[in-house]
């Protein structure tokens, strides 16, 4: 990871953008003391979260009795 001053980064933004697209990372510094203010790098693709089905299978049981009834209004919550 290379260190670059904010002035140089601003002056050569398009060049740095091309390098960042190829995978380079930079730490941007500011002021005479070259204080590190932020890091710039490529966006990493995130994998979509896969939800596991059936985690509770065999751990719980739901029983509906034969005389259990629900009206349409109750089901719709109105």
Answer whether residue 20 is part of any domain: yes
Answer whether residue 32 is part of any domain: yes
pLDDT digits (tens, 9 = 90+) for 15-55: 999 999 999 999 999 999 999 999 999 998 888 888 777 77
Distance CA 4, CA 37 (A): 11
What confidence tier does 78 reach under pLDDT thresholds 50, 70, 90?
low
Distance CA 48, CA 15 (A): 31
Answer whether residue 7 is part of any domain: yes
Answer whether residue 68 is part of any domain: no
Distance CA 28, CA 37 (A): 6
Answer whether residue 34 is part of any domain: yes
pTM: 0.56
Answer whether residue 16 is part of any domain: yes
> Residue 19 is part of which domain span?
2-40
Answer whether residue 26 is part of any domain: yes
* Domains contained in the chain, number: 1
| Helix, strand, coil percentages in the chain from 3-state DSSP, rounded to 5 | 25, 20, 55
Strand order in the sheet with 35-40: 2-5, 26-30, 35-40
């Amino acid at each position: 990871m290379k260190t670059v001053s904010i002035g140089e980064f601003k002056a050569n933004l398009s060049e740095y953008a091309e390098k960042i697209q190829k995978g380079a990372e930079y730490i941007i510094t500011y002021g005479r003391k070259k204080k590190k203010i932020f890091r710039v790098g490529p966006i990493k693709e995130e994998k979509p979260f896969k939800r596991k089905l059936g985690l509770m299978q065999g751990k719980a049981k739901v029983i509906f009795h034969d005389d259990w009834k629900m009206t349409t209004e109750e089901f719709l919550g109105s």
